[in-house]
Amino acid sequence: MAKKQLYTLEYPIKCSPSILFEFLSTASGLQEWFADSVNERDGILSFSWNGSEPDKAKILEQTEDKSVRYQWLHESPDEYFEFDIETAEISNQTILIIKAFADKNDIKDDSLVWDHQVKDLFRRLGS
């Protein structure tokens, strides 16, 4: 099986880093835009879509108002998905950076899914 590739997506957003971080790092925040249901127990988050069996992920690392990295428990331990929050120096605009892994042939489709999810996040944030 071919190793998945890391890819990066960037989205400028009109929101403070601290508010955005809450939507990226908490079960209640993630449930607002990322999955239909998100529960956390003992550091493991369970994500469900359309009543499906939950996918589980653990938080690998987290820096307040800056980044959070998750690892799906069913994926390779060296693969993750990460949300980074940066502020553009000149414009002072908040930028959401998503890093994730996918098979080379699936990166375009996965990017479209992220685009759809992030649009929902923007709607929730009023951005």
Domains within the chain, CATH numbers bracketed: 5-122 (3.30.530.20)
Read off the DSSP letter of residue 26.
Answer: S
Percentage of the chain with pLDDT > 90? 86
pLDDT exceeds 80 at position 2: no
| Burial degree of 36 (CB within 10 A; 0-12, 13-18, 19+) | exposed
pTM, to two decimals: 0.92
Q: Which residue has the tokens 């653990």?
A: 58
* DSSP class per residue in 42-104: TTEEEEESTTPPPEEEEEEEEETTTEEEEEETTS-TT--EEEEEEE-TTT--EEEEEEEEE-G
State pLDDT tens for residues 43-83: 899 999 998 899 999 999 999 999 999 999 999 989 999 99
